Structure 1
């Protein structure tokens, strides 16, 4: 609760936290708008595939882009502006850098940047949740062994949910469910970049003028992004993924405690202690009242069973906490999140406290590629949000047992056999090379197997 004071102290001492941003897209740009006005944070450099795009991002977020650009990393380190480069490795290796932010969205790039950051003694804030779900538990372990912080990105929903889970457990409550809201109907799993704007009520021309990427937005709609975010939360908190994948029950904020309780108690959960996403739409397409489309939530209960928990349950009602009809299950929610505008919290927590705003502690959940349509041998998969596959949440042990193909690797790879619509794809269904994303994922699977064996 005193990060701002710590940052001001660092600024007064002339020791601002030096930050390197990789990826100047929407999330990165939102961070750029706030780091400029945050005492104690110094943006030392931006790496992007296009220096011109990075410069445009500075200009769009209130910087004097011409005056802000430094001539060298040395000048940037001393406070003489921001170094722009297309060489992400050079930024990570730059002398004096404290924290690396990966906001690329590429699993391969995220793995590469994380390994380089750990090698060079930099803390890592992984905005790139695709990379985190592909191999985050292994990467986080590498940072921990190096005495460094690997963190999920505050402002994005997984880190905000992790914070709510941590709050509940620190209060002595038992977490029953945690997750977020989204717009969902079962038909959305088949959505493609050609149909996505119809579901959002936009014309393609409007989306293009706004610079909205159809495949990226389709990932949010077809269920893939929800699965990725819930997997990240499960791996960070110890909550379980539903055995059959996300159910997306329609639910308003006022009904969270009633809907998201175990089936044995009248709710939709297989058991207590799970991640789940609630839909802002009823199954017939009507809007859910008091929906949580942009927000996050936690459902919890007193750890004491029976009469011993009665006092806490009475307090829930006395202080206006939303509860189910029995009074046993309670919920809190946050109605919105500010994405990259909040990212400085993660940077400051890593550099000043040595703490992550959420980080994977085990491989508990995975996201597998699932066929959107009948696929034929010889076709090339186009990955998250595309025309061929969507991402299905699975428990890690089930994914490994089936040899499921991670959604993060289902891009640019060729099918070697037919796959039926709705089927989970496997490693054996594709011809896949051994790039950094594949090798890091395989290393993570070996690491997880070793950790499981050691725990026996």
Structure 2
């Protein structure tokens, strides 16, 4: 980190900065703006939201004077403001695409169709793209990653988000010489697959969250999406549809996440999963065949083995994203990418009885929740990835509660870029 600090200070002294366009000024976006304000040589030069006052308020809270904030949807005025080192607030995400002074985009919207369009446009304009929007990555990440490599830019998930934090641990484990068996996260909220946004409305507002976002946390969809990102990065699959989701603690988890033949719950190793009792942390389970390594792990109070827990008891979400921004722009390195392809998918399950002819609402709604499944099984059963649902998705027929919804059950909006990217991804076998 001191290397990052030193290089950014050198950039700042030379009159240069990493300039970022941040799209989506919700809880994560506000935190990122305020964190970047403390870092020399990096700034959120353009802040975009459909409610621009949110961006203005976030910048002022970060210590930016109102005189240094320019609201505009004009690219020429934005360029003029950047040359004067002002901060720009806009409703138009495309405002920074053609501006040479903007080095990278950060998507903090959590909206899959919009995220696909933003990433597509950023990459084609040769801008690095940092995805706090793991929802998009989980369904079309492999094709976006391929496009980014072809355009010479970085496409990446972020440090601080659970998938990025898990990958840091996995990288440490493998780099240290351990064999990686399980990669996972603690579940922050209770699990209720049938919760609705109406039931969580007051809690969501009190926490500064959109009700649908909190709903997707509690109904498990968000956890499934995050584990899909990890799956696509490592090549690991869920052991069972939806994962085991065991109740545990740091002392017992390495035994529980072992094979059934060893007294655990697993049919297979090299899997992704989640656990209650480990939140807000992330973890990996590792092993070694070497006697000397096992002896040293015992000496270090890491347990009797043969499986061992490596555990990070926190993740700081967007507050860690500046490190990913620096790595992408200066070091040309990603935090987490779906380099193994579409290994898993989050498919769609009915929360209630649904009627044919109705529009289908997606993540965090009253209609559906998501479960992780291997991509091979998703293809075999023709199941609907939940992140392909948008406001125009219509049911062809009635669906019973708890049924898995197939692609044949719905009419998708084929005009959306996310749909076209998924089709191309499938054609290429990514």
Asked if Structure 1 and Structure 2 have the same fold, meaning a TM-score greater than 0.5 normalized by the shorter chain, the answer is: yes
Instruction: Say whether the 8 Å CA contact 1:196–1:221 is kept in structure 2.
Output: no
Which of 301, 308, 321 is 1:320 aligned to? 301
Which of 396, 400, 403 is 2:379 aligned to? 400
The Cα of 1:426 is off from its aligned counterpart by 1.0
Instruction: Say whether the 8 Å CA contact 2:159–2:317 is kept in structure 1.
Output: yes
Identify the range of structure 1 (33-42 vs 261-270) with the bigger mean alpha-carbon deviation.
Answer: 261-270
Partner Cα separation in structure 2 for residue 241 and residue 77 of structure 1: 46
Match of residue 200 from structure 2: 196
Instruction: Say whether the 8 Å CA contact 1:154–1:345 is kept in structure 2.
Output: yes
Match of residue 250 from structure 2: 253
Which of 369, 375, 386 is 2:365 aligned to? 386
Which of 137, 152, 176 is 1:147 aligned to? 152
Which of 156, 175, 182 is 2:180 aligned to? 175
Instruction: Say whether the 8 Å CA contact 2:362–2:368 is kept in structure 1.
Output: yes
Structure 1 pair 61/363, CA: closer, same or farther in 2 (3 Å)?
Answer: same
Structure 1 pair 82/70, CA: closer, same or farther in 2 (3 Å)?
Answer: farther
Indicate yes or no: 2:34 matched with 1:54.
Answer: no
Instruction: Say whether the 8 Å CA contact 2:241–2:371 is kept in structure 1.
Output: no
* Unaligned 5+ runs, structure 2: none
Match of residue 416 from structure 1: 396
Match of residue 218 from structure 1: 215
- Partner SS state of residue 148, structure 1: coil
* Unaligned 5+ runs, structure 1: 198-203, 280-290, 452-456
Match of residue 372 from structure 1: 351
Partner Cα separation in structure 2 for residue 216 and residue 93 of structure 1: 31
Instruction: Say whether the 8 Å CA contact 1:242–1:395 is kept in structure 2.
Output: no
Which of 410, 413, 421 is 1:433 aligned to? 413
Identify the range of structure 1 (409-418 vs 147-156) with the bigger mean alpha-carbon deviation.
Answer: 409-418
Match of residue 21 from structure 2: 20
The alignment's C-alpha RMSD in Å is 1.8
Instruction: Say whether the 8 Å CA contact 1:18–1:77 is kept in structure 2.
Output: no
The Cα of 1:264 is off from its aligned counterpart by 2.3
The Cα of 1:166 is off from its aligned counterpart by 0.9
| TM-score (norm. length: structure 1) | 0.88
Match of residue 325 from structure 2: 347
Which of 119, 122, 132 is 2:127 aligned to? 122
Which of 81, 103, 120 is 2:108 aligned to? 103
Instruction: Say whether the 8 Å CA contact 1:42–1:79 is kept in structure 2.
Output: no
Structure 1 pair 398/5, CA: closer, same or farther in 2 (3 Å)?
Answer: same
The Cα of 1:385 is off from its aligned counterpart by 1.2
